[in-house]
Chain A
Amino acid sequence: MNYLRWIGAFLLLAGLPFFLGSYYNDVYRKMLLWVTLALGYNFLFGIGGQVAFSHFAFYGVGAYSIVIFLIQLQLPLPLAILLGIALCVLVALAVAIPSTRLEGFYLALATLALAQLFVVVLNEGGAVTGGTGGLANYRLPEVFGLRIAGPWYTAVIVFLLLMTFFILLKLDRSWFGRACRAVRDNPEAAAAMGVDVARTKVIAFTLTSALAGVAGMVYAFVDNTVNPPIFGLENAFLILFMVIVGGAGRHAGAVIGAVLLFLLPFVLSPLVGHHHVLVFGLLVLGAILAAPKGLIGFYDSIRKNF
């Protein structure tokens, strides 16, 4: 891979917020976070074929754990990050190992239960999680004596996005990515080719869940507040729609789906007011029916025919 391209992409994406006002900078940051999440979820769902609803919950595990380790327990930043990742990995293994032994929709059920349970734990967590009100009024400590804020913190998010994309792209273009696709397309044939199906699923699930956790850690210092409603099921389904609308199994599809579905409410609200949720749902449904292979698949078929 050409490293100059990555550096160029970083400079471009991280440079942009210096020209945006603070409102648009905030919108931009959240869009980047959604793109990061959608890329990871696309690897799990689109490439790995695993229907899981826990991706957003792991985002929450990351966000809460960094605040608890760093602010509540006053641990140093590198240790807090490592502990947060370790927690995501442990929870992911605890869900993935038993559910991948079972067939089909058990993973969907187990991860749906996990996502629900996570919100319950947050609400009932007392002083540790701050209960229904969550945790607020904290901020990122100085790193090497520097306070990273404003567009500089947006650069951290850009770095997160590109790092996530880099990891997923490397995996996708290796024997591991092919094994994931093979398991998705035909598990019996994959096993006959020497792919350990259960192990491949567990690794894909754990890796993408950990990446969602890291994204959550970065998110924790975007609004400087974490609370239970953010990590509910609504967003867990939104991320699924982003990947499907964009085109499951394609990195570009995940990016397009995340950007469009994230920005759509901003466009719809002024036009249709309170009905924007309904219109949003109809548009998503229409997109799925009109382009079952996603917008990227639609684009491909247009390019092929003209």
Chain B
Amino acid sequence: MKDTILQVKALSKRFGGLLAVSQLDFEVREGEILGMIGPNGAGKSTTFNVIAGAYAADAGEVSFSGEPILGRAPHQIAMRGIMRTFQHNRPFAGMPVIDNVMVGAHTRFKAGLLSVLFGNAFQEETEKRKKAESLVDFVGLGELRDADVATLSFGQGRLLEIARALAGEPRLILLDEPAAGLTPDELARLAHIIRGIAARGIAVLLIEHDMHFLLPLAHRVVVLNFGAKIADGLPAEIRADPAVMDAYLGSHAAAH
């Protein structure tokens, strides 16, 4: 079995009287795609935001490569190799596509300010720009490289989020409902991209609402309901789990 890269133990997060995440345990292994599903309000995005440092946890432990990361600021967590996308696109509106992706590479620049002003930081800049260009190509936005981000469609904006996160050379990438709102064509392309990310040896923690998209893609799946884990296993096991059918898939199927 592959080594664990992210370990979450007994994680709890409360918003006032609401227990959004309750005693959650799970792990992500190197290079795997771990799917996390659950109905709206199950605590998926909250879990994400706690791991990424955007929210403080009330109890529990999160360790990345064996190092505790709870209580670290978002930029420190990015520095350690966890990059994320947002549930709602958050581009840097004043910059072209390529520069948005270059911001993702922020933590990988070695040149200090003095070297920017008087040294040869432009070599590093050129090198990083080439890498960013190849990432823009990888997610299929090559033709829009120099476009204003305001001109991107919703689906293109989702892909930009992924390219930007990859530019930080993460060892773990957190994808927050990347499939939401995509057309069938875009979904197929997204699945291909996510497999490509895992093939590069980057672990993927993928939050998804849509089990039809997630189950064929994930190596393992964690199911949340009302902030607690109700199942954990291979996609085939999740499909067959009566508790999951009851709590989530059944109600989900009935709703459609």
Q: Which residues of A pack against B, CB within 8 Å?
A: 167, 170-171, 173-176, 178-179, 181-182, 184-186, 188-197, 203, 249
- Could you tell me the distance between the alpha carbons of A205 and B35 in the complex, rounded to whole angstroms? 43
Contact A193/B168 with A171-B117, A185-B92, A203-B113 known, Cβ cut-off 8 Å: yes
Across-interface contacts of A170 in B (CB, < 8 A): 116-117
CB distance from A244 to the nearest CB of B (A): 15
Q: When A176-B116, A178-B95, A197-B75 are in contact, do A188 and B106 touch as well, CB less than 8 Å?
A: no
Q: How many residues of B contact A (CB 8 A)?
A: 33
Q: Which residue of B lies closest to A203 (CB)?
A: B113
When A and B form their complex, which 7 residue pairs have the shortest distance between CB atoms, in order from nearest?
A: A194-B78, A194-B107, A189-B90, A191-B74, A185-B92, A174-B116, A175-B109
Kindly report which residue of chain A lies nearest to residue B125, judged by CB atoms.
Answer: A174
22 A-B residue pairings within 8 Å (CB atoms): A167-B117, A170-B116, A171-B116, A173-B125, A175-B109, A178-B99, A178-B102, A179-B103, A181-B92, A181-B94, A186-B91, A186-B92, A189-B86, A189-B91, A189-B92, A191-B54, A191-B75, A191-B78, A194-B75, A194-B78, A194-B107, A203-B113
By beta carbon, the residue of chain B nearest A191 is: B74
B227 within 8 A of partner (CB): no
How far apart sit A167 and B105, CA to CA, in the bound complex (Å)? 22
Known A170-B117, A174-B125, A192-B86; judge A181-B78 contact (CB<8 A).
no
Q: Using CB atoms, name the residue of chain B closest to A190.
A: B103
* Cβ–Cβ < 8 Å partners of B75 in chain A: 191-197
Nearest residue in B to A46 (C-beta to C-beta)? B94
> Which of A178, A184, A188 interacts with B54 by CB under 8 Å?
A188
Name B's A-contacting residues (CB within 8 A): 52, 54, 73-75, 78-79, 83-84, 86, 90-95, 99, 102-107, 109, 111, 113, 116-117, 121, 125, 164-165, 168
Are B121 and A174 closer than 8 Å at their CB atoms? yes
Query: Chain B's nearest CB lies how many Å from the CB of A174?
Result: 4
| Given A175-B106, A176-B116; A185-B83 close (CB under 8 Å) | no
Closest-CB distance, A241 to chain B (whole angstroms)? 21
Cα of A174 to Cα of B109 in the assembled complex, Å? 10
Question: In the complex, how many residue pairs between chain A and chain B have their CB atoms under 8 Å apart?
Answer: 94
Judged by DSSP, the binding face of A is helix
- A189 partner residues in chain B, CB cutoff 8 A: 86, 90-92
CA distance A167 to B116 in the complex (A): 9
Contact A193 B117 (CB under 8 A): no
Of B54, B109, B117, B125, which contacts A192 at CB under 8 A?
B54
A203 to B117, CA, bound (A): 14
Query: How far is the CB of B197 from the nearest CB of chain A, in Å?
Result: 17
Question: How far is B93's CA from A185's CA once the two chains are assembled, in angstroms?
Answer: 6
Contacting pair B111 A195 (CB below 8 A): no
Contacts of A194 in B (CB 8 A): 75, 78-79, 83, 106-107, 168
Q: Which residues of B contact A171 (CB under 8 A)?
A: 113, 116-117
B54, B94, B104, B113: the one within 8 Å of A193 (CB): B104
Please give the distance in Å from B131's CB to the nearest CB on chain A: 13
Q: Which of B52, B84, B113 has the most CB of A within 10 A?
A: B113
User: Across the two chains, which residue of chain A brings its CB closest to B84?
Assistant: A192
How many angstroms from the CA of A193 to the CA of B173 in the assembled complex?
Answer: 12
Q: Which chain B residue lies CB-closest to A47?
A: B94
Q: What's the least CB distance linking B46 to chain A, in Å?
A: 15
Given contacts A179-B103, A181-B92, A190-B92, 9 further A-B contacts (CB under 8 A): A174-B121, A174-B125, A175-B109, A184-B94, A190-B103, A192-B78, A192-B86, A193-B104, A194-B78
Q: How far is the CA of A175 from the CA of B104 in the complex (A)?
A: 10
CB distance from B170 to the nearest CB of A (A): 10
Contact of B52 among A176, A179, A192 (CB under 8 A): A192
Tell me whether A185 and B94 are in contact (CB under 8 A).
yes
Q: B106 to chain A: which residues have CB within 8 Å?
A: 175, 178-179, 182, 193-195
Look across to chain A and name the residue whose beta carbon is closest to the beta carbon of B105: A175
Residues in chain B near residue A197, CB distance under 8 A: 75
B113–A176 touching, CB < 8 Å? yes
Task: Please determine whether A178 and B103 come into contact, CB atoms closer than 8 angstroms.
Answer: yes
Which residue on A lies nearest to B115, using beta carbons? A174
Least CB separation from B110: chain A residue = A175
Known contacts A170-B116, A179-B103, A193-B103; A186 and B90 CB within 8 A of each other: yes
